[in-house]
Structure formats: C-alpha cells, structure tokens
Structure 1
C-alpha cells in the first residue's frame, strides 16, 4: 500500500511539473477533477501559485519594487467558495501609495462539455481605505459554482522597497505547484529568514542587470532566489494556536542596508538595537513621550494628596482608561498625537499607552513603553520594525515589571487584553537600553463553579448555579457581558447548553474591577439522566460535561497556547429523588501532566440521599511545548472519559 502511495505521489508530482500554466490555458481535466488526489478533504486547491518580486528603475521614480502575481485555484465544493474572493493589502504613506495594475481575472466552468470563461469586470473590483497606512483592493470572482476554476494575475507597484511582503509557501488549502522568485540589485542587502516545518529547496544565482541614467547605461549584479515546490500540504489549524501563520512555511526578506553608487551606507533594521533605536527616535513615538503640558494640571489634581507610588499608578491608569477611549486602531506610532487624543478623548493604541507612560513618568514612576506584537500579527523572531504593531506600558519595580494597557476598559494591572498575550515584548528605556519582557501571565485565572442540583425522578434537573471568575477569565467575561444586551446574552447562554432554561439571572461586580466577577442563576433542564427499568444513570457534571477532546492530530509540530495559566473547579451537590438508593459512583482519580504542567482531580462522596462531587483541573503554563503534546492529548482523553462515567441509582 505504501509503495502505491509513493508511486501515486511521484506520478502526480511529475504531472504537475510537466503541466503548462500559461494564463488562460485551462484543461478539461482540471475542470473535471472532483477532489484533490493527495488531500480528498480539501474544499479547494491552488493548481498553480506564482510570484515574482523584483526591482525596476526609472529616472522619475527611482527604484520601485514590482510584485507579479499569477494564481489558479480549483474549487471543489461550496466550502471552497471563500477562495473566490481575493483581498490585496496595500501600503501607503501620505500621498505615496502602492498600486495594483494590469489586473486580469476569469472564472472557468465546464458547460455542456465545453470550457466557458467569465471575465471579472471593473465594477466587481472595490478599493477602500482601511487606515492611515493601509488601502485594500478586493474582488470576488463571478459565476462561481462547484467545480469552477478561477485564475487571476496582477502587478503591485511599490515605492517602499524596504517593505517586501513575506513569501507564503503554505496555505489553508493544498498547493499543487508553486514558483517564487525574488531578485534584488547589488545596491540592496537583504537578510533571509525562514519559518515553518516543511523542507524546501532554494536556488540562488547572480545575474547581470542594467538601467539607464541620463545618457549613461549603468550595469549591476542582481541576486536571484528561486523556489519551486510541488504538492504542498495544507496547514491544518488545531485549537489553542496563538497564530497559525507563525508556523506556516514562509520566507521573509528584510532590508538590512542600501549602498548606492557614490553614496554612503544607509542601515535599516539589522539588529534589535537598530530596530529599537529607529522606533524610539521616530517623532510619533519618542517625541510624543516628551509632551506633558496638556495633562499636568489634571494629574497634579489627581495625585497631589497621594504619596504611595503604586496608588498614584492605579489612579493614573484608571484616569486614562476612563478619559480616552480606544478607536480600535493598532499601532506603535501615534496618528493625530497624544495631545489631540487627550483633548478629543479618543485615540489609537500608541496615543493611549504612550500618554499613560508619560503621565506615570511625570508622577515619578519608572515607566517605559513596551513594544508588542499582537497575536494576529505573529511572533517577531527576527529583528524587524514591522514585527511590532502595538505598544503597552511597563512600570519597573524591584525584580519585576508591572504591565498596563489602558486601551481595554476591563483590563487591570498585569491583566492585559488577550490580543497582547504573545511571547515577549521589548521594553525601551529613556537611556536607550532595552530588554525582553515575558507577556504571558504567571498568575492563574480561576473559574470556580458551585451548583445545587435536584435530580427529578423523570431525569430532569433543577437548581442553582454560581460561578466566580478572576483575572483573564474575569476580563473576558466582562468584555462579553458588558458590551451585550442582557436578553441576547442570556439567549446565547441557554443555546450554548441546548435548551437550558434560566431564571433569576444576576451578575455581580460587572464594573468593579477590584473584585472577581460573579454570575448566578436558577435553572431547569430536561432529560439529564437515562432511566432504564428501575435504575437512573447520569454524569454528575450533567450539561457541563466535556464531550470532545480539542486535540485530534496524532502529532503536533507547534506549541499549545492557552494564553494564560488556568484553574477550574466544579463543586456540585446533588439531591437524589425520593425512593432511590445510590448503587454505585465512579472512583476518585488524579491525573498529572509531566513536569508539573497540570493536574486533574475527580472525587465523589455519597451519603444517604446526597452526592457531593468535586472536579478540579489546573494548567500551570500558558504555553505547552509540542514535546508534551501526546501527554496533553492523553490528559484530556482521561479527563473526558472520567467525566463520562456515571452514577447509578436504584429504586428502593
């Protein structure tokens, strides 16, 4: 069987390499294909993916970065329709923009045994301004159906030669053939950084190039990198991945320096020290930290009678959170500036947290900005200014750094929004020194649940529920509850547990961030026990029972990222129906992960007509190495199996 699979893969690879992917040359065989022979679960497949990024010179524009794209996608079913929409992200800076040119796109269908093509018209292309620094061009291919092939090509002209978009070699769907080319003149020195777990071959050669400067012809050498890959598997995303793009096969070309004829070296980001200095010197970063006149009177009035430094910090933190609301924009640089943000009471991430840093310094605290890459932005493994897209505040005290983010209304000291819990940040001091800061919290977030349950003879249950949440669990609950209509919130809660009927719902400390948040309600739920003859069978967790292991892969290459350490406990007291005895209950059990990563404890104490059940679980690390994946998967398996064990009651 293995030999057959190898021969099949080899045959497909040879066919792929021999395939002609000239634009518009679609075969009936491609259109007749109903599934990917290597991955039959794929909803779509890149039949061909081509990208070439290179430099062109003109006397009017100088060097421009040109990216040519040609992609052909086969859509197998309706789930694959999402790949018929293409979004192109474009940089801009002031009046200088990246531009899309020569866009040509078709949808191909097999109709009556003949290939029918439908052209993308101009009215199907939409351009929008996403932010001060980003535009977006988007199109959806016409006449899509199951079995369609879409194909498009275009060029991006960019004046920003220091911003080379990553070459992505692995997607959420398979790729049959990929060709990628990067060419750079000798005047540009790039560092190459690779990420991902798949192996790939790179071909590097030097070629001759030239351009005209006035009446002179300038010859130069260009470095050329070429990648050819076939049958690249889809990257399957499992739960608890902080950003799947961190593990996708990709190559990044980071500009290190430029050296043009008759000019000096110009360095870009080649070391972390270069990156930090460049960011701090930017007028929209370090310059904004120096401004203080706009808030001094307010801060003096706020802390004039307070001597304790940390009380000052609390007061200033709350003042910024209540005064200036976040407009939803991420950035390490200010947009309109801290002064305007304070006056208008709205600002981006940098405006809010650089303002907070400045105020804390004014109050005498050792506060400094911390550069952060949010979870959706990925992990900055290599020195790059683009790797950081966010900034928070750190107060340095003896042997510790207190972390603050005033963009989140419900964030507290050392309880950052989930979006920022991503590996390490870099704290930048006024002196120019910097160091890395672990952004993952050490303190557990606790969720303690108490239930009093009456089990009725017909298998229904009724009773009272109460939960207490702390730290990040409390933050996330407040974000959901305080921003929702309570009726909608309750409806979602009832639907989550499929027919749970809730009454007397109450939330305590929804806005009091100094205390845990508490949720309580009375409930009724039908059919929570199986009645067979004169016996009743049920799980003591009832509707709270975990039914499915989130970890399904046999092997996992990337870490399991929970975001923060977790601690959960369920305390349940069950009153059994009159006329029944407790025949049997599951045995206690303790399961531990290696190296003190976590534990699971299950215990039941039965009396004459009551059952006291306790279930507790802890995960002591926010991130679990893939080395422990098999142990973690088995840990969850045993927990689920134990939760499924049943108590048996017998009619007297």
Structure 2
C-alpha cells in the first residue's frame, strides 16, 4: 500500500461564514458518451463503466442550527454495458450518525438515457427514493433508476449535509467497476489544517490548487480560501479475492483528517495527539479505565472459582471460563463498556467492551498481569499508525502475561479456546494500553496454526465397494470454525444427519464427534463410509483417486495481478493420511509422481508420497502455508504453486489385473 501526504497550509477563521452554494451538475449527455470506451481498463469482465464522476465538498453554516456542516455534492455518469451491469441502477446512499445527529441527503436526481435514433432521457420519479434505518448509527437512502437496458447511460446526483467536519468525507476513486475519470474538489476552511492521505495502489493523474480570494464573508470581513482538486483517470475495477482484509484498505481513495484549527480568538487548537495523551484519556475514562479498576466486583467471586494451589495459568483459565459463561455477548462491538462491568455481570449480557474489560479487571484482581489491547476488526480496516486515531478502533481484547509467556484472550464466544483470537481480530497490529508506561503496537496473531488432518482407511472389495472410515482432526482457527458450524444445529445428531444427507460422493453410515466442548483439545469427527467404485472397476483394470474429501479442484488465486497481500489470518496446514486395501490380483500401472514443491524460503511447502505394496495403497500428502501473510510480490508464485497442486490432483491411480 502506498501513502501520500499533502499538507494544507491555508489557515484562517471560518466559524461563522456563509458560503455560496454551488451545484455539481454533470455535463449534457452526448452521442459520444454512448460509444464503447476504448480503454485497457474496460474488458470482457466489465459490465458497466463510470464515464465521469465528480464530487465537491465545502463547509457551510447551517443557519437554522447555527452549526457547521460539510456539504458534499456528488455526480456520476455510468454506462451499462450488459445485463450483468443492471445492478448499478440500484443505488444506495449510506448516512451515518455523527455525535447525536445523522447526515441528511437531498436533491437526489436520477436520469436514464438511451438511443432510439436520438437521445431519450427518462427522469427518476421523486417518490422513488425511500429510506431505511439499519441500526442506531446508520441509515440508508435507496432508489432504482427507470428504464434500464443494455448500453443505456445513467446519471445520478445528490447532496449530503454532514456534521462531521473532523474527517470530511473519503473520496473513493476505485470501485468494483472501472472508472475513466474521477475528480474530487475540496474547499478547505482556512482555520482548519487537514492531513490528506492518498491510499491504494494507483496514483493521482493531476492535482490542482486555486486561491479563492475573499470567498467567505465573516463579520463584515472577507477571507481567502483554498480550492484543491484531485483527479485520477483510467482506474481499473477492484476485484476481491479470497484471503484479504477489508477492501477499503486497498482501494485507491483520498482521506481527510482534521489536525489543527484556530478558534475565533486566534488560539491554535491541536487535535492530533500523542499516544501518551490518548493513554491517559482512556485510563481516566469511566467506560474504559474506570471499569478495569473495578476489582471490587470480583472480591467475593474469585474465592468461589479459584482453589488453593492454583497456578497463575490455572487461575487465568478459570477466570476466562467464568467470564465467558457469566456475560453473553450481545453481538455489539466496542472498545468501551456499554453497561459497565458490574451491571453486565448482573444482567449476564454485554458488548465486547463489557466482556473483555470484566476479564481484565478479574485477572488483575487475581494478581495476574493483564492489559487491554485496542483492535480494529478485519472488516473495519487497518488502524493508522502514524498518529493516534482512536476512532479507528472498534474492538477490545486482553493480553495476559505469566511465566514468561503472553496470551491474547477474547471471552466473547462460547467456542473460543484460551489463547486464541477469532479471525475478525487478526488485523495487523493492536495497541496495548499499559497502566504505568506508554502504550505500544503489538502484532495480533495466534500461536496455534489452523490445521485440518484427514485420516482415511478402508478396503475396496471385488465388486468395487469401498468400506472404511474417515477421521478429521481440527486445530486452531479450523477447529473454531467447525465448532461454530456444528453448534448452529439443534443437536449433534442433526449435524451428523446433515453430513449424511450432503455427502454426494459417499454414503455415511455412522458418525461421531469427539471433544466438541473440550476447547483446548483437538476436535475430531469420525464417520463410517461406503463408496461405490463399481463404475471404475473393469474386468482387467481399476482407476480411482484416493483423495476422497476436499480435493482441490479450483485455484483460490486467479487474478492476473493482485495489488494487495494474501492475508490468511494464521499459518495453515492440511494433511492427508490414506490407507486403502485393493481387491486381490491388481498391479499398479500408473500413479501420480511423488513430489515436493516449495516457495522461496519455504514460505509454503507441498509434499505427496505414495507407495503400493502387496495390495495396499499408502498415501501421505501435506500442504503447509508457513506464513500468515503473503506480500504482493509473492502472489504470482503462490498462484502457480496452487496450480501445480491442482494439476497433480487430477492424476488418478490406475491398476491392472495380474
């Protein structure tokens, strides 16, 4: 990912200005707009293309509220290339709650243009816009443009009024369809000094700045203003692929963050703080540090759950188990406590902050060194590391330190074992907040690899019927994922029945699951199976592939170029141990070659070994991904690595009668 930093130097007072509203109308539609764009970014995978996109933001005074508002005007012209691009006409505008007020949208306009000898335009009815409340923080405005057809063009324009003057509004150059031209203009109030960052792979095509003399009238005086325009052209579509963090981490976009402003008396106010200031604020905050220090909440509880002679780890594990059972997660994230530790314990319900602050407080009460760790979840995006932005974090976990070891703990989920973080939390670095020294960045990672081991053994009789057993062993995140899936069923029997009903290639006759609730132990499934290979068995020959389950047939990496890392969340390992007894009298004629593949520096390894002796086929296969994150320059090698494995899996074993 590349960052550019642009410093805005225009600083002047603007608290009570009145700005002249300016519209951001799109140019008149022309026949030329209907021509298929001749651009390398538009190819057979493109179903629609943005011809032109323009945005403009400035700050105005809301006269009725006597408050500042950022006015965002937006216009986009999109050409629909085929039916798969029709969904571009289903438009959604998200509106966020800032403080105690929501953003509002107005002047929504939509037009559909098509050619029938001449250009016809159909305007969207004003009543087509409807509003939906998602939750207490997000509203949606939705509409669908009329008369959509292949090769039509749609125009969309609207205005958003936002109370968020601190971050302006992110301008997203890159999206899931290509864009020929995208232009954003920001008129920056001069009392404000914004840090402007451009993230993503693609660079700006052009930057323009203009001094607007006497642009605002304030208390009878006129002030200058800076107009900054950022242009990007020929922007390829962003293609999502397996094993990635939030797309917003990688899409080319420009962001504004208020760093400093001048008040009406001329005093400079700095909003960019140092971490020591944030640490102090957090530890003094009633909903954060105030909850950690509520050790009295556990004075009467600890003697009931701990025993004399318990080691520190015994104590930590018992407290972790107690908090998991005592406070059920209400599915709300948060770095702050929603109800407070005491009330959450009484209600037996709380958000992530309630749960993990209670865990930290209880461990501290037991004399165990434990600290809060601020986390930004994978879907929330990577936190900024250059300077503190507390709003980047939406989650909280604990770190326990004992006997020279450290463990990340999250007591929010029933099936999370001690020392394992859920995948949502594995997102770059977290910020650990100490009580007596400055906080620091800490890598969010699990010590246990995600691992699945398939153990298959059995016998094929003279009629081609295979009878045997499959055992599957799960560890790490693989075990967590499987336990969560199993627990969605009404009972273990219901899960096994679902396995029986959805195993198309084999018949499951009996099944058992072991150590489902023993979270610190390996999860195991065991099934008696029957597979009909009679179609493969001829009088003189027999062909089959012993990779009976989860055979790799599709490469998860298919992009020609991927400009963002492959993030697996943890190291991964997949093993197969197979032992199959064949009918009497067969010799091996063809088999996949024993092979060993490896990426540079053993970043990934694949081994395949088989042998056939005295009617028994023994096969061992292992795939080890020895890094949690593969960088952009490793992508081609990883893609080719998987392609070779898939080709290897296509080769069957062939046997002939003696």
When normalised by structure 2's length, the TM-score is: 0.88
Instruction: Give the CA deviation at 1:415.
Output: 1.0
Instruction: Give the CA deviation at 1:171.
Output: 0.7
Instruction: Give the CA deviation at 1:498.
Output: 4.2
Equivalent positions of 1:169-208 (< 5 A) are 169-200=173-204, 201-208=206-213
Instruction: Give the CA deviation at 1:371.
Output: 0.8
SS of residue matched to 1:478: helix
| Aligned equivalents of 1:451, 1:601: Cα separation in 2 | 17
Structure 1 residues 421 and 88 mapped into 2: Cα distance closer, same or farther (>3 Å)? same
Q: 625, 634, 641: which is aligned to 1:619?
A: 625
SS of residue matched to 2:333: coil
Equivalent positions of 1:517-596 (< 5 A) are 517-526=523-532, 530=536, 534-596=540-602
| Aligned equivalents of 2:345, 2:93: Cα separation in 1 | 34
Higher mean C-alpha deviation, range 264-273 or range 364-373? 264-273
Q: 380, 385, 398: which is aligned to 2:390?
A: 385
| Aligned equivalents of 1:530, 1:208: Cα separation in 2 | 84
Instruction: Give the CA deviation at 1:313.
Output: 1.2
Structure 1 residues 533 and 36 mapped into 2: Cα distance closer, same or farther (>3 Å)? farther
Higher mean C-alpha deviation, range 376-385 or range 172-181? 376-385
Q: 494, 517, 521: which is aligned to 1:511?
A: 517
Structure 1 residues 628 and 114 mapped into 2: Cα distance closer, same or farther (>3 Å)? closer
Q: Does 1:428 align with 2:417?
A: no
Q: Does 1:73 align with 2:78?
A: yes
Equivalent positions of 1:308-319 (< 5 A) are 308-319=311-322
Equivalent positions of 1:128-207 (< 5 A) are 128-131=133-136, 133-200=137-204, 201-207=206-212
Structure 1 residues 553 and 222 mapped into 2: Cα distance closer, same or farther (>3 Å)? same
Matched residue, 1:3? none
Matched residue, 1:17? none
Instruction: Give the CA deviation at 1:636.
Output: 1.8
| Aligned equivalents of 1:579, 1:84: Cα separation in 2 | 66
Higher mean C-alpha deviation, range 134-143 or range 23-32? 23-32
SS of residue matched to 2:300: helix
Contact 1:130 1:136 (8 Å CA) reproduced:
no
Matched residue, 2:53? 49
SS of residue matched to 2:220: strand
| Aligned equivalents of 1:94, 1:272: Cα separation in 2 | 23
Instruction: Give the CA deviation at 1:566.
Output: 1.2
Contact 1:528 1:543 (8 Å CA) reproduced:
no
Q: Does 1:256 align with 2:262?
A: no
Matched residue, 1:328? 331
Structure 1 residues 225 and 585 mapped into 2: Cα distance closer, same or farther (>3 Å)? same
Q: Does 1:647 align with 2:647?
A: no
Matched residue, 2:294? 291
Q: Deviations over 1:602-645 (max 9, x none)?
A: 11121111101111121121112223223322322332222222
SS of residue matched to 1:419: helix
Structure 1 residues 149 and 597 mapped into 2: Cα distance closer, same or farther (>3 Å)? same
Higher mean C-alpha deviation, range 358-367 or range 636-645? 636-645
Higher mean C-alpha deviation, range 183-192 or range 545-554? 545-554
Would you say how many aligned residue pairs link Structure 1 and Structure 2?
629
Instruction: Give the CA deviation at 1:185.
Output: 1.4
**RMSD after superposition:** 2.9
Higher mean C-alpha deviation, range 642-651 or range 166-175? 642-651
Instruction: Give the CA deviation at 1:170.
Output: 0.5
SS of residue matched to 1:297: coil
Instruction: Give the CA deviation at 1:474.
Output: 0.6
| Aligned equivalents of 1:303, 1:589: Cα separation in 2 | 53
Equivalent positions of 1:96-495 (< 5 A) are 96-109=101-114, 115-122=120-127, 124-131=129-136, 133-200=137-204, 201-213=206-218, 216-303=219-306, 305=308, 307-382=310-385, 383=387, 384-397=389-402, 400-431=405-436, 433-455=438-460, 461-485=466-490, 489=495, 493=499
Q: Deviations over 1:252-311 (max 9, x none)?
A: 111112212315333223544455555554443233333344444323422264642222
Higher mean C-alpha deviation, range 21-30 or range 189-198? 21-30
Structure 1 residues 314 and 372 mapped into 2: Cα distance closer, same or farther (>3 Å)? same
Q: Deviations over 1:216-266 (max 9, x none)?
A: 224333333211222211112222212232111111111112212315333
Structure 1 residues 637 and 114 mapped into 2: Cα distance closer, same or farther (>3 Å)? closer
Matched residue, 1:87? 92
Contact 2:275 2:438 (8 Å CA) reproduced:
no
Structure 1 residues 641 and 179 mapped into 2: Cα distance closer, same or farther (>3 Å)? same
| Aligned equivalents of 2:366, 2:226: Cα separation in 1 | 53
| Aligned equivalents of 2:227, 2:302: Cα separation in 1 | 57
When normalised by structure 1's length, the TM-score is: 0.88
Structure 1 residues 491 and 233 mapped into 2: Cα distance closer, same or farther (>3 Å)? farther
Contact 1:582 1:608 (8 Å CA) reproduced:
no
| Aligned equivalents of 2:626, 2:473: Cα separation in 1 | 19
